[in-house]
Amino acid sequence: MIETKFTATENDTGKRIEVLAAGLFPDVSRTRWQRHGQFWLEAKERPGKTKVSAGETWTVKFNPPAEPEKKLESWDFPLNVLAETKYWLAIDKPVGISVHPSATDPTNKTVVNALIAQFSEIGKHFDDVERPGIVHRLDKPTSGVLLVAKTPEAHKKLQEQWSAVEKTYLALVQGRPPRKGKIEAGIARDTKNRQRMAVSSGKSAKHAESFFERLAVNESENLSLLQIAIPTGRTHQIRVHFSAIGFPILGDEKYGGAPADRLFLHAWKLTVPDPETGKLIKLEAPIPKEFLDKMPDLDTLPAT
């Protein structure tokens, strides 16, 4: 058990108490603090998501579970490694595979199950047994660059620096959007369907921006290939934004897209500070053949 008391500083203002607790005790992940932590402001217990203010006196307590948590099963599925160091690795996530098991997809054939089979150290070094090393996520039907930490220290640094990460996607959308543009619209859970997200201006909506450039057009099928940069990373952000302006992604039936063999959304490039050196790392996942087949006249793509 861990228990301590501290007074919040000016630098702590606005941060969630569970995040501060994880910073005080880096051997215990934020996920574990969310599940098993207790937090008191003065003598009143508060939820982990509570944001602190300078001068407040907090008590934090970590109660590990009495029984060992369920271990993930390994899955012998070779992952395509794009780059690797002793602190992190980047893979080309396959389309149609979830990043980790969840209540809606409780399978043992996910990226995480494959990771612990191929990189045993990841399964050993993290106390988050459900999502060891996962820095960010991609939707199950989305392919492309996925960054994974090999150590808890690298994981913490990568998450702290995530606001500085540049994320570039490729998408095939229906119709012909402007050559360049910006979509700025809040995103929240769809009140009529909890499995969907929606553009919203309500209090629960999170700010989201998507910048796009049209790279090519398939006139015969009325499709456009877009390069999309998202400084924010909301759930289903690209899918929701382009559906909202009338250019749904091909294969995205959930958001009005026409049926296809796959969702035509690909996490193409990722530029991220190295957790060890701070230097920018540029990662790129090859463009899937299905995209190129839809763009027969495409010769080259512009550098980004």
Active-site residue numbers?
A: 139
Distance of alpha carbon 29 from alpha carbon 19, whole angstroms: 9
- Strands 197-199 and 209-218 come out as unpaired
Q: Are 232 and 207 in contact (CB under 8 A)?
A: yes
* Tokens at 72, concatenated: 């993930």
Question: Beta strand 143-149 with 265-273: parallel, antiparallel or unpaired?
Answer: parallel
Closest CA to 252 of 173, 168, 144: 173
**Do the Cβ atoms of 162 and 135 come closer than 8 Å?**
yes
* Cα→Cα distances 98→5, 171, 189, 217, Å: 39, 19, 20, 30
DSSP per position, 71-116: PPPP------EEEE-SSEEEEEEPTT--SS--SS---S-SHHHHHH
Choose among 63, 23, 54, 61: nearest CA to 40.
61
Within 13 Å of residue 248, how many CA atoms lie on the same side as its CB?
13
